Amino acid sequence: MDEVDRQLLRRYRVRLVSELQVAELWDALLSRELFTRDMIEEIQRAGSGSRRDQARQLVTDLETRGRQALPLFISCLEDTGQGTLASFLRSSRQAAKQDPEAVRPLGHLVPVVVGPMGLKSKEQRVVKLEPSQPALGNLTPVVLGPEELWPARLRPEVLRPETPRPVDIGSGEAHDVCAPGKIRGHAHMAYILDSDPCGHCLIINNVNFCPSSGLSTRTGSNVDCEKLQHRFRWLRFMVEVKNDLTAKKMVTALMEMAHLDHRALDCFVVVILSHGCQASHLQFPGAVYGTDGCSVSIEKIVNIFNGSGCPSLGGKPKLFFVQACGGEQKDHGFEVACTPSQGKAFDSDSEADAVPYQEGPRTLDQLDAVSSLPTPSDILVSYSTFPGFVSWRDKKSGSWYIETLDGVLEQWARSEDLQSLLLRVANAVSEKGIYKQIPGCFNFLRKKLFFKTS
């Protein structure tokens, strides 16, 4: 979607959320292939599932659906009897195309004035000033109700991206959410991700293991896989999924990816969803299991993409996300003062991705993985749990780590760099459950990384 259409949607977001009759739109959106059925179901589950929450999510997701998304959406409105809204958007779009400056980014709005937080009356309102058309000098008040500003239900542990928050840009000072925009374009401060697609994303999803391996079925992992497929496509990656690979096939798939020509691309992502264990290492701890019960060390996986193995990724960020146990230890945590609402209940549907530490014949070429390691650069390995500890996965909703990572990317990838996003993930996961879990990362990136979201 081009910038004029995107700013138009954001400018009239309040009216769209207020007036859209989403229940009548689903079939039209499907028939015009603007959204898939899975995407529509995800929109329908947004927030509390109310019409307003669904409308808000629909308008947000519409920005990711290509250059013709807005005219196709306008046609869907006309097909479903929402002609007034369709005519308004069409005429506004025509005017904006003639004078793009008339649709100014939200960052240019005059700050809102909010009354005392303690007021609960229906009369409490917030006035936001927007430039009226065509004269930019005139300011027209737009009245918002408290429901639009403070939705009834937010995604757990994740704040909405519209909520201003300080962002640390490395100077030790707090800056508003517009500050990352000043960093993105400076190649010495941040990786430049301007190719479209941005890069390849390989997801290895091991669910069903050979009976002889002694490893259980990873029920719920397909939920994780589907979430990340959608999320990294939204982040402009070409996503490829490999299901139920043996250890040797895992290495083969990774090497095939390393032998591709990445020169026209800006980034690379590997996601491993499997059982895991401790392993001998020099730099990157842990190993993940193939479906045959043989393990591949994280070091071997990472170093397939080093300077000699994949020269076309030299100087480009290479990201590895590992949902697997780092060992068998179960962390009961320690007592801190907290509210009863914190944490996710631990129930019979939660299980671990752990198997015992193996140093014997079940490992795969482990010595080769650590015999000669280059100095790592432009690499980040994000682990779902601390080395040696269990990583929890819910049979219905997927793993704690992937569920939270997906939510944080959805809400904050537009405005924050990867390290800040992973801090949010670690904080949210650490508050879940009776047993505790804390994600972490080995970060050898040289610059800040902001995902491509537009």
* Residues marked as catalytic: 275, 325
Backbone angles phi, psi at 225, to 5 degrees: -60, -45
Would you say the C-alpha torsion 364, 367, 371, 377 has a positive or negative sign? positive
- The alpha carbon torsion through 115, 117, 122, 127 (nearest 10 deg) reads 30
Edge-to-edge strands of the sheet including 126-131?
110-113, 126-131, 139-144
Element (H, E) at 92: helix 83-98
CB 63 within 8 A of CB 69: yes
Contact partners, residue 104, CB within 8 Å, separation at least 6: 7, 11, 131, 136
Give the HSE-up count for residue 430: Cα atoms under 13 Å, Cβ half-sphere: 15
Q: Detail the DSSP E strand segments found in 290-378.
A: 295-297, 318-323, 350-352
Show the beta-strand stretches assigned E in 100-205: 110-113, 126-131, 139-144, 167-168, 174-175, 199-205
Tokens 């650490």, located at residue: 430
Residue 447 Cα distances to 169, 339, 379, 381, angstroms:
11, 37, 11, 15
> Cα–Cα distance between 312 and 260 in angstroms, integer?
8
Continuous H helices in 99-199: 146-149, 179-184
Collapsed DSSP state (helix, strand, coil) of residue 3: helix
Q: What is the CA radius of gyration of the chain?
A: 24
Question: Quick check: helix, strand or coil at residue 8?
Answer: helix
- Cβ–Cβ < 8 Å for 437, 390: yes
Beta strands at 267-273 and 318-323: parallel, antiparallel or unpaired: parallel
